[in-house]
Amino acid sequence: MQLKDTIRESQGFLNRAIVAGMLVVAAVLLLVWRMLQLQIVNHEHFTTLSRENRVKVVPVPPTRGLIYDSRGVLLAQNRPAYSLEITPEQVEDLDDVLSELGKVIEIGDEDLERFWQLKKRKRRFDSVPIRVNLSPDETAQFAVHRHRFPGVDIKAQLLRHYPHDIKTTHVLGYVGRVSQRDLEQIDASNYAGTSHIGKNGVEKTYESALHGSVGYEQIEINAAGRKVRTLEQTPPEPGVDIHLHLDIALQEVAMKAFGDNNGAIVAINPQNGGVLAFVSQPGYDPNLFVEGISRKDYDALQKDINRPLYNRALRGQYPPGSTVKPFMGLAGLEYGVIQFDSSVYCPGFFQLPGNTHRYRDWKKTGHGPMDLDAAIVQSCDVFFYKLAYDLGVDRLHEFLGQFGFGDRTGIDLTGESTGLLPSRQWKRRSRNQPWYPGETLIMGIGQGYFLTTPLQLAAATAAIANDGSYYTPHVVDYLRSRESGEITPIPPTSEQIPKSLQHNWEDVRNGMVNVVESPRGTAKRIRSKDYRIAGKTGTAQVFTVAQDEDYDEDEIDKRLRDHALFIAYAPVENPQIAIAVVVENGGHGGSTAAPIARQVIDAYLLRDQAPSEESSELQPTPAR
């Protein structure tokens, strides 16, 4: 039996091996047939091609898409620029040519460094830039000597330019030369003719749309490698234009309103999450980066104590301070922990049961009896200490998480910070410590571990204005093909925060209205006669004051002064703009942050009504 099986198996194998052998022979015959076809039948054809292999395929880069603001103002354009390029293959002694060239046109060390670096990455017959951004004088100067330099040529290309430079950097980002690292992440053949790629901001997020697809030309070249004629052509597909929700005039107002302060403003359209203004102060000139920033300029930017490279609106993490109070109040109402008219007596401090530590109110003498509305309007800390204590950290974490705190908003910009919404699990994980009840109190007034980004605050404020519809903030409104005019909208995405009682939301919003409208409100000074604003001030501690010390603003170094915050939306009846302002070391939210918000809201809501003196200055400057 055993033997029989073995024999049967062996016979079966033999059959299969024969089939496999036949397959092999068939495949080899197929190959031979292919070789006959190439080498005998079409031999003449290929011989001709090989003898005249002067056909070169050259990539034709697509034109990069333009970027416009919501009113059609051009924010990113392509300008012709002239550069001096060398084709190494056509140059006999590169060092010699470089030194001769240096006598005709100024060539700096940085130019040389870039040249050798780029040369390594290119094929010998590709030209490599030695000088960029030639002035008309330099162009003329070289033209005179051109005959002495075979293989060296002036090349015109379109270079990215940002006419509103510093005003747009933190949103648009910028393009820079394609680096080795970029190459590993993109389809290299699609970038065969492209020198620049989005490095940051909208330029990076929408890179593939802005870039388009490469075209190519089959050209005939002569012995010197110069083009004789085009044989075949596939035009490139130009990049798509991008239209933002952003309003550059508003952006400008916001930046002006900041003055010398550092900080961030994010303004969002609550009805679709579109970002209307997105400012991080100070900014920097993106045009510096387009042709490779010089080391000196870069060092200066990096060492600047005001950190202009830092995108505060997107990455800055600040304690929300009292701006969290409306959210806290809503949590209390929605969980049924407090009623609208629940009253708490504020003696100026709060104590945990069985503990002597006094959690102080900002007002030493206390606010007296407080209901929710008064507590929001006057920003009473004690009321919210107690509310936070009654809610507990777990419910706080759950409720505030629904407003996007502690997580990336998902905006269409890269590098966003998550902020930090603390929880028991977080503390256990990151510090291996239990959660202490006192930390819940501190969290209840937006201090302690709790960190938010200005973007998160604006999006959350929009959700309050919007009755719980949380829209993912986004900068880009729609894409528009320049050729066909076809428009691809970026649809808003929203999530509904679960609600238990509609009037809870109205109660909290009324509290926010009274922050501005009531004579006791912390932001009463920004009251407007044209429309009503709902808001909440906040002050975020930068350093901690000891238990019995007083915080004296004037005595403290400016960098240790509190951050001023303000969140708001307007008009109350039909919210069109939600805004978050953080003024670093600005002191009180009501006095520094709120007036900035007011100016931005004014500029947005009244832009078409009363063209005042100021607003004429706000008109976008045409590109020069």
Establish if 20 lies at the interface with other proteins (CB under 8 A).
Answer: yes
Q: How far lies 380's CA from each of 153, 324, 537, in Å?
A: 71, 12, 12
Q: Which residues contact 420 (CB under 8 A, 6 or more apart)?
A: 317, 406, 426, 449, 450, 451
What's the token pair of residue 118?
Answer: 């780029």
Q: How far is the CB of 240 from other proteins (least distance, A)?
A: 15
322 in catalytic set: yes
Q: How far is the CB of 233 from other proteins (least distance, A)?
A: 11
Establish if 43 lies at the interface with other proteins (CB under 8 A).
Answer: yes
Q: Which residues contact 418 (CB under 8 A, 6 or more apart)?
A: 406, 407, 408
What's the token pair of residue 273?
Answer: 């999450």
Establish if 5 lies at the interface with other proteins (CB under 8 A).
Answer: yes
User: Is there a contact between 152 and 128 (Cβ–Cβ < 8 Å)?
Assistant: no
Q: Which is nearer to other proteins, 6 or 135 (CB)?
A: 6
Q: Which is nearer to other proteins, 37 or 493 (CB)?
A: 37
Residue whose entry in the numeric block shows the structure tokens 């916001």: 254
Q: Which is nearer to other proteins, 124 or 148 (CB)?
A: 124
Please choose, out of 211-219, 379-387, 445-453, 478-486, the segment that lies near other proteins by the rule CB under 8 A: 211-219
Q: Which is nearer to other proteins, 57 or 623 (CB)?
A: 57
The pairing of strands 368-370 and 215-221 is: unpaired
Of the listed 70, 195, 322, 423, which one is catalytic?
Answer: 322
Q: How far is the CB of 64 from other proteins (least distance, A)?
A: 19
Q: How far is the CB of 31 from other proteins (least distance, A)?
A: 6
Omega prior to 282 cis, within 30 of 0: yes
Q: How far is the CB of 103 from other proteins (least distance, A)?
A: 33
Establish if 571 lies at the interface with other proteins (CB under 8 A).
Answer: no
Q: From the list 47, 294, 302, 574, which residue makes contact with other proteins (rule: CB under 8 A)?
A: 47
What is the number of residues in the chain? 624
Residue whose entry in the numeric block shows the structure tokens 């003329």: 140
User: Is there a contact between 474 and 344 (Cβ–Cβ < 8 Å)?
Assistant: no
Establish if 53 lies at the interface with other proteins (CB under 8 A).
Answer: yes
Establish if 14 lies at the interface with other proteins (CB under 8 A).
Answer: yes
Q: Which is nearer to other proteins, 39 or 133 (CB)?
A: 39
Q: How far is the CB of 195 from other proteins (least distance, A)?
A: 16
Please choose, out of 48-56, 91-99, 330-338, 437-445, the segment that lies near other proteins by the rule CB under 8 A: 48-56
User: Is there a contact between 215 and 192 (Cβ–Cβ < 8 Å)?
Assistant: no
Q: How many residues sit in the footprint of other proteins (CB under 8 A)?
A: 43
Q: How far is the CB of 188 from other proteins (least distance, A)?
A: 8
Please choose, out of 50-58, 495-503, 547-555, 578-586, the segment that lies near other proteins by the rule CB under 8 A: 50-58
Residues of span 122-141 touching other proteins by CB under 8 A: 124
Q: Which is nearer to other proteins, 146 or 227 (CB)?
A: 227
Q: Which is nearer to other proteins, 483 or 552 (CB)?
A: 483
Q: Three-state DSSP class for 240?
A: coil
Residues of span 355-394 touching other proteins by CB under 8 A: none
DSSP tag of 420: B
Q: Which is nearer to other proteins, 190 or 417 (CB)?
A: 190
Establish if 465 lies at the interface with other proteins (CB under 8 A).
Answer: no
DSSP tag of 497: P
- Minimal CA–CA distance to 124: which of 84, 159, 94? 94
Establish if 39 lies at the interface with other proteins (CB under 8 A).
Answer: yes
DSSP tag of 219: E
Establish if 50 lies at the interface with other proteins (CB under 8 A).
Answer: yes
Establish if 112 lies at the interface with other proteins (CB under 8 A).
Answer: no
- Minimal CA–CA distance to 207: which of 76, 384, 85? 76
Q: Which is nearer to other proteins, 20 or 487 (CB)?
A: 20
Task: Round to whole Å and give the CA distance between 494 and 3.
Answer: 73
Please choose, out of 16-24, 323-331, 343-351, 528-536, the segment that lies near other proteins by the rule CB under 8 A: 16-24
Neighbours of 465 (CB within 10 A): 26
Please choose, out of 11-19, 296-304, 412-420, 452-460, the segment that lies near other proteins by the rule CB under 8 A: 11-19
Q: Which is nearer to other proteins, 184 or 549 (CB)?
A: 184
Task: Round to whole Å and give the CA distance between 380 and 363.
Answer: 8
Please choose, out of 213-221, 235-243, 285-293, 366-374, the segment that lies near other proteins by the rule CB under 8 A: 213-221
Residue whose entry in the numeric block shows the structure tokens 């898409």: 65
- Minimal CA–CA distance to 483: which of 238, 247, 164, 302? 238
- Minimal CA–CA distance to 62: which of 206, 235, 243, 184? 235
Lay out the site mask for other proteins across 185-204 (x = CB under 8 A, - = otherwise).
Answer: ---xx--x------------
Residue whose entry in the numeric block shows the structure tokens 């706000």: 618
Task: Round to whole Å and give the CA distance between 111 and 70.
Answer: 38
Establish if 38 lies at the interface with other proteins (CB under 8 A).
Answer: yes
The pairing of strands 152-161 and 74-86 is: antiparallel
Which residue type, as a one-letter code, is found at position 87? T
Q: Which is nearer to other proteins, 22 or 545 (CB)?
A: 22
User: Is there a contact between 498 and 331 (Cβ–Cβ < 8 Å)?
Assistant: no
Residues of span 218-237 touching other proteins by CB under 8 A: 218
Establish if 116 lies at the interface with other proteins (CB under 8 A).
Answer: no
Buried-state track 332-361, b at ≥16 Cβ within 10 A, e below 16: bbbbebbebebebebebebebeeeeeebbb
Instruction: Using only the alpha carbons of the chain, give its radius of gyration.
Output: 33
Residue whose entry in the numeric block shows the structure tokens 């004789």: 228
User: Is there a contact between 385 and 376 (Cβ–Cβ < 8 Å)?
Assistant: no
Lay out the site mask for other proteins across 54-73 (x = CB under 8 A, - = otherwise).
Answer: ---x-x--------------
Catalog residues that contact other proteins under the rule CB under 8 A: 5, 9-10, 12-17, 20-21, 24-25, 27-28, 30-32, 34-36, 38-40, 42-43, 45-47, 49-51, 53, 57, 59, 124, 184, 188-189, 192, 214, 216, 218
Residues with catalytic annotation? 322
